[in-house]
Amino acid sequence: MGKHISYEQSGVSIDANDRMVRQIYSAVASTFSPRVIESKDGFAGMFRLDYDERLFKKNYKNPVLVACTDGVGSKVQLAGEIKKFDTVGIDLVAMSVNDMLVQGAEPLFFLDYLAVNKLQPEFVAELVKGVAAGCRQADCALIGGETAEMPDTYAPGDFDMAGFAVGVIERKKIITGRIIRKGDVVLGLASNGLHSNGYTLVRNICFKRAGLKMTDKPEALGGAALGDVLLEPTRIYVRPLTKLLSKYKVKRVVHGMAHITGGGLVGNIPRVLPKDCNAVIKKSSWPRHKIFTFLQEAGPVEEAEMFRVFNMGIGFVLIVAEDFADSITKKLTKFGEKVYRVGRITTGTGEVVLK
């Protein structure tokens, strides 16, 4: 009989996992609200939908749960390249909570899944700190997660992440886009840049075609390091939009919303448009982030393809009643957003028309 073999000798360390759990606990706990029922070492997270404490009372009459899942895509490879892991966790949260926000839902809690070649507690702790930071921005609790050490599946240095969010909305307040009508105004909220979409094309342009490195500082980016611009985290729109929607308890002034991810404005706005309406978008109505001009020229990439792949500087869209467009703009600006009147709704066939 040969020598005994252990799990660790096969490539998986239980001790490293225990150290990792201890390191991430404070970051995770920083996202907890009074609605979290804490159970350290529990097998599942617990969260109260209704609660009756005097200071935090919030009960629902006809609650509808809303769930989303997403990843960060090949942006994680760029993070691994320069060993900067504290921002992609924010991206992970943003991709799901911004999606559920489209229906008007309030994010409640979040879970993450991390897959790595080798479990290095400090590295995983950085990733989870980013996830926790995103959860704090979105006012949702990080109540569980999983880290999988899979040396036979992932190459050294490779990793991937996925996120799962659950939110809630009163049934009568669900925003579907059905009441969008001719004359409505399309408002765009500024993005932070690329957010988390189109990175396969970005990597092709920057590294294969242009031969750049993450540390390079192209003049077209105003002297900023390429890596810093590419890893700028996705903007989370939860707080300003939750505040905005709470101002209109009876009137339905926000008729539809869209999170501008893969597919850009032309691919995402039609998902909420009625079949007899078009959204006419004026491309010159907002300033274009330098990264988009840089990529288009460095590619080169056709204008139509840019708008089909990237958000082009608008990360979230609201379609609102014309009479309330100015007041909504003022409110969102007060809440810290850059807001642009980017278009109007016309009769049509459920498409976006770029002008």
DSSP secondary structure string for all residues of 172-241: GG---STT--TTPEEEEEEPSSSTTS-HHHHHIIIIIIS---TT---GGGTT--HHHHHTPPPPP-HHHH
Q: What is the pLDDT of residue 34?
A: 81
If asked whether residues 137 and 189 sit together in one domain, one would say no
Please name the amino acid found at residue 43. Answer: F
Domain around 329: 185-354
If asked whether residues 343 and 195 sit together in one domain, one would say yes
If asked whether residues 147 and 190 sit together in one domain, one would say no
Q: What is the pLDDT of residue 249?
A: 84
168 bridge partner residues: 65, 106
Q: What is the pLDDT of residue 306?
A: 97
Confidence of residue 190 (pLDDT cuts 50, 70, 90): very high
> What pTM was computed for the model?
0.91
Q: Does any domain span residue 9? A: no
If asked whether residues 53 and 96 sit together in one domain, one would say yes
Residue 95 contacts residue 112 (beta carbons within 8 Å)? no
Mean pLDDT of the chain: 91
User: From the CA atom positions of the chain, what is the Rg in Å?
Assistant: 22
Nearest to 303 by CA among 282, 283, 325: 283
Q: Does any domain span residue 5? A: no
Least-confidence region, from 3-7, 198-202, 318-322? 3-7
Residue 199 contacts residue 322 (beta carbons within 8 Å)? no
Q: Does any domain span residue 7? A: no
Confidence of residue 49 (pLDDT cuts 50, 70, 90): confident
If asked whether residues 62 and 164 sit together in one domain, one would say yes
The SS3 call for residue 93 is helix
List the structure tokens of 209. Answer: 């075609």
If asked whether residues 45 and 168 sit together in one domain, one would say yes
d(CA 109, CA 131): 12
If asked whether residues 169 and 232 sit together in one domain, one would say no
If asked whether residues 66 and 88 sit together in one domain, one would say yes
Q: Hunting for tokens 């609605």 — which residue is that?
A: 35
Torsion of CA 107, 248, 103, 86, to 10 degrees: -40
Residue 234 contacts residue 130 (beta carbons within 8 Å)? no
Q: What is the pLDDT of residue 170?
A: 94
List the structure tokens of 139. Answer: 């006012």
Confidence of residue 322 (pLDDT cuts 50, 70, 90): very high
Q: Does any domain span residue 196? A: yes
320 bridge partner residues: 185, 254
Domain final residue, candidates 117, 148, 173: 173
Q: Does any domain span residue 180? A: no
CATH code: domain of residue 125: 3.30.1330.10
Higher per-residue pLDDT: 30 or 328: 328
Res. 76: pLDDT tops 60: yes
CATH code: domain of residue 211: 3.90.650.10
190 bridge partner residues: 314
Domain final residue, candidates 145, 173, 201: 173
H or E element: which one contains 83?
A: none
Q: Does any domain span residue 8? A: no
Q: What is the pLDDT of residue 138?
A: 97
Q: Does any domain span residue 40? A: yes
Report how far apart, in Å, the C-alpha atoms of 189 and of each of 2, 16, 265, 303 are. Answer: 64, 42, 12, 21
If asked whether residues 116 and 207 sit together in one domain, one would say no
Please name the amino acid found at residue 46. Answer: M
Q: Hunting for tokens 């920057």 — which residue is that?
A: 206
If asked whether residues 169 and 303 sit together in one domain, one would say no
Task: Using DSSP bridges, classify how beta strands 159-170 and 277-281 pair: parallel, antiparallel or unpaired.
Answer: unpaired
Q: Does any domain span residue 49? A: yes
58-65 mean pLDDT: 88
If asked whether residues 238 and 137 sit together in one domain, one would say no
If asked whether residues 192 and 97 sit together in one domain, one would say no
Residue 220 contacts residue 290 (beta carbons within 8 Å)? yes
Confidence of residue 36 (pLDDT cuts 50, 70, 90): confident
109 bridge partner residues: 141, 166
Q: What is the pLDDT of residue 9?
A: 60
Domain final residue, candidates 173, 197, 223: 173
Q: How many domains does the chain have?
A: 2
